[in-house]
Each structure stands twice: as structure tokens, then as C-alpha cells.
Copies of this chain bind each other. A is one copy, B any other.
């Protein structure tokens, strides 16, 4: 079993390396052959994960109960899908992605609609094969959030939606009188690289086992037990957009670097869920990165590197970086308004899966729900229901984890702050990292996400700390 699992880990991390190269440095014409390399590896990995020998070896292998449970779960999910469905899903998603790009460009939902119909049909078939307790959406959500029930997530989201909308409205209203133009100014990439690296290092990111490169869409990927790669992009007039992006990816990276390296090939050495992963990125980006304590340490350094900041008072700077504004676009949303975008998508996805909502009715449903949260309509479908890539890749059931991450982040941060005496003002965040390593990272996938939350904070994911945090920051 160990050899088989190690081979899967080797091939998967090699595939991740090819992907990383594709996103960062590969020349344009390499793309066709690179796709062949990746698909060859993907085929080998799938074959190993679904081989009868996997099940046979699992029976007799010397494994901890948690590793056995998770490996059995993974094997069951992988083998429950017929080969025909796996191939159809992959082909449909390629075509759908191209159609989605065209549809968004042309602002024409009907171009994408037939593809989304097929993807939805495939998602329902997958859910049927995987099985579920209450509703098909459960089976999809399980891919990202082990042990989560859709109805419980819905209850959680419903319980805070009006609070979130109210906080957002207050924050947006207050922000109208807050200037922030003074944040923008000459920010040479070389200086942004310096600050990003100094900050990531101060949070505990180990550059002996990782690095930061440049890509159009920032991400974090793990190429080995001591090899975590972050990416960012640079706006030469706005150092904060790259810096907060780097702090976000650093949060993901610290989680990956904190996993038990010797168990790299085992569930106990792998991240437990997207909702926990996102809690780590949001924690460092928002709870640390947008706090006064952080900037007491780092504003002077930023002023050295970006002299236009010298004329700004600390108070004005803090107010400006925590300004809120409505946007039709999720990825441009600030902390105060972000979750409304997620609640909208979760509601629609769930209705699509259950059959309550038809694909053709998505634009109307989107605009109606959007208006109820934000008080205005998106200008068109390109900045409405066509804005995200996720559905076109077959990623249904994914969006909820963003808000779960936000809520988990606040809850973990709140508990950690009671347990640790970090001297944030002096820039020392290592005690916070140590707490996360001990309470979250070190456990890999041993516990279900909700059990992990209970162990770490005394309760499952609950919104009090998050709402308190948002209110104290924005209201």
C-alpha cells in the first residue's frame, strides 16, 4: 500500500509541477504537448486510484483508522463513477469552458446555456453514483467539504444573510465619505517583490521550501512535501492588491507547509477541506493583514518602499484599506460584501441541482437575488451570471466553501487570540502560526472539518465570531 500511495503522490505532484510551469513560465506554443503530458499522467493516476489492487491492499495495510477511512472513501468515490461518465465529464468541461469564454465575451448567456445543461446532467449522474442522504447537492459538496450537509450549510447561510446584507449596506454607506485615492501611487514591481517577501517571511512562510512567482490568476500549489509555490500579479500603481493577494496565498501556503511532511502520501498529510483551507488564507489576509497591529509594524516599511504613502496618517490609511463598496464582480468584492456573492451562487446552484431552477431562467434569478442583496442590477450577464469560471469547469458545489472559509477564519482567529500572547505590533505573528499549526495543520485529514473546528474552537462552524468581526470593523 505504501508503495502504491507513494506512486500516486509522486505522479500527482509531478502533474502539479507541469501545471505550475504552464501557468508561470511555459512558452505559448508548448501548450498542446503539455496537455498530452498532463493527460497521460492523469490517466495513470486515475488507473492507480481505481485499481482492484488498491482495495486489496487497503484491506491488509498497516494504517491508522483515519487514514483507512479516508482512503476507503476516496477509493469508493473514484470507483463509483463509470469510465464513460468520467470521460464525458472531462470532454464536456473542455467544450463548456471554451463556450463560457465566448459567452462572457459576447455577453450572451444562450451560448453557454446548452453546455451548462449537459454539465448539470453530468453532476446529477455523478451525485446518483456517489449517493447522498438528503439531496444531490450533498454528493457534490462532499468533494470539497467532507462530512458537510447541504441543508446545514443552507441553514447557516440563511441565519446570517440579513445580517450580512445589513453590515454590507452600513459599510458601503459609511465608506462613501472615506477617501482612498491617496493609497494609489508609483509602486515599482521590484519594491513590491521586496515587501511581499518580507511580509510572507514574517508570517512564517519558509522560502527554503517555497517561492512566489507571477501569474495572471494568483494561486497556491504544492509540488512536494517541502515545495509550496505561491503566485501573485502586480499593479504598478497599487501595491496593496498584490500584497493582500500574497497574504491570502501565504495563508494557503502556511497550511500546506504545516502538514506532516512524512505523511505526504497519506490523508493524514493532506489538507482536510476547502472550507478549512480558505479559513487559513482569509485569516492571514483579513484578520491579520487588515488589522491595525499589522500596519503598525509594516506601514513604515511600506512608506520607505512607496514614498507617496508618507503623507498619509496611520488613521487615514487604516480607514482607507477597510473601505467597502458594492461591486457586481465577486473577485473585486471587499470583505464587507463578499459573502453576499457566495450566498447568491449557493442558492442558485442548489436550486439548479434539485430541479427547482431551469438553466434558461438563471439570468433572471441571478439578477433578482442580486438586487435583493445589493440594491441594484448587474449591467449585463457578463458581469452577472457569466462572471465565474467554476460552473464551466464542472465545479458545482464549490462556492459555499468560500464563505465557510470566512466564517471558520473568524472563529479560529477569535479562539487563537484568547490562547496566545502574540506581540503583533512588533510584527511577531509566529505565535498565531504556531497555534494554527498545532490546532489545524498538524491534523491533516484525520478529523472531519467540523470535528476539527470543534476540537480547535469548542464548537462547529458558527457565525458569531464572524459577524462580530465584521461589525467591529465596518459598523
Q: Spell out A's residues near B (CB within 8 Å).
A: 7, 10-11, 13-14, 17-18, 21, 25-30, 32-34, 36-37, 40-41, 206-211, 213, 223-227, 264
Is the pair A227, B30 in contact by a Cβ cutoff of 8 Å? yes
Please, which residue of chain B has its CB at the minimum distance from the CB of A209? B29
The chain B residue sitting closest to A20, CB to CB, is B21
Q: Is the CB of B21 within 8 A of A37?
A: no
Q: Closest CB of chain B to A99's CB: distance in Å?
A: 26
Shortest beta-carbon distance from A264 to chain B in Å: 8
Query: Given A27-B226, A27-B227, A209-B27: A33 and B14 within 8 A (CB)?
Result: no
Name which of A30, A32, A33, A208 has the most chain B CB atoms within 10 A of its CB.
A30
A21 to B25, CA, bound (A): 10
Q: Is the CB of A36 within 8 A of B21?
A: no
User: From A33, which residue of chain B is reached at the shortest CB distance?
Assistant: B224
Contact call B13/A224, Cβ cutoff below 8 A: no
Q: How many copies does the complex hold?
A: 2
A33 touches B21 (CB 8 A): no
Using A18-B17, A208-B27, A208-B29 as known contacts, say yes or no to A34 and B213 having CB atoms under 8 A apart.
Answer: no
Q: Is the CB of B225 within 8 A of A27?
A: no
> Is there an interface contact between B27 and A10, defined as CB atoms closer than 8 Å?
no
Q: A27-B226, A227-B26 are in contact. Are A10 and B40 (CB under 8 A)?
A: yes
- Chain B residue with Cβ nearest A228: B27
Chain B residues whose C-beta falls within 8 Å of the C-beta of A11 in the assembled complex = 40
Would you call the interface of chain A mostly helix, strand, loop, or mixed?
helix
Q: Contact between A32 and B226 (Cβ–Cβ < 8 Å)?
A: yes
Residue among B28, B30, B36 making CB contact with A10, cutoff 8 Å: B36
Please tell me if the beta carbons of A14 and B7 are within 8 angstroms of each other in the complex. no
Beyond the given A17-B17, A29-B226, A33-B224, could you list 7 further A-B residue pairs with CB under 8 A, ordered by the A residue number?
Answer: A11-B40, A14-B37, A17-B37, A21-B21, A28-B208, A28-B209, A33-B226
10 A-B pairs with C-beta separation under 8 A: A7-B40, A14-B18, A17-B21, A21-B21, A25-B213, A26-B227, A29-B206, A29-B209, A33-B224, A33-B227
A226 lies within 8 A of B30 (CB): yes
Q: How far is the CA of A14 from the CA of B26 in the complex (A)?
A: 13
By a CB distance below 8 angstroms, the chain B residues around A18 are 14, 17
CB closest chain-B residue, reference A206: B29
Bound Cα distance from A454 to B7, whole angstroms: 48
Cβ of A211 and Cβ of B14 under 8 Å apart?
no
Return A218 CB to nearest CB of chain B, in Å. Answer: 17
- Cβ B224 vs Cβ A37 within 8 A: yes
Nearest CB of B to A119, in Å: 29
Contact in complex: B213, A30 (CB < 8 Å): no
| Contact status A37-B13, CB under 8 Å | yes
Report which residue of A28, A206, A223 has the largest number of chain B beta carbons within 10 angstroms of its beta carbon.
A223
B contact residues around A36 at 8 Å (CB):
10
**Chain B, Cβ-Cβ closest to A13:** B37
User: A27 CB to closest chain B CB, in angstroms?
Assistant: 5
- Point out the residues of chain B lying under 8 angstroms from A21, CB to CB: 17, 21
Residue of B whose beta carbon sits closest to that of A39: B10
Known A-B contacts A17-B18, A227-B33; A210 and B27 likewise in contact (beta carbons under 8 Å): yes
Contacts of A17 in B (CB 8 A): 17-18, 21, 37
> Which residues of chain B come closer than 8 Å to A209, judged between CB atoms?
27-30
A97 to chain B, nearest CB (A): 22
Neighbouring B residues of A33 by C-beta, 8 Å: 13, 224-227, 264
- Chain B residues with CB under 8 A of A264: 33
Given contacts A226-B32, A227-B33, contact A211 B25 (CB under 8 A): yes
> Shortest Cβ distance from A197 into chain B, in angstroms?
13
**Known interface pairs A30-B223, A32-B226; A37-B25 also in contact (CB < 8 Å):** no
CA distance A147 to B297 in the complex (A): 68
- Give, as a whole number of angstroms, the nearest-CB distance from A62 to chain B: 21
Q: Which of A37, A209, A213 has the most CB of B within 10 A?
A: A37
A226 to B37, CA, bound (A): 13
A-B pairs with the 6 shortest C-beta distances? A30-B227, A33-B224, A29-B226, A29-B209, A29-B208, A10-B40
Closest B residue to A36 by CB, please name it: B10
Q: Which of A18, A29, A34 has the most CB of B within 10 A?
A: A29
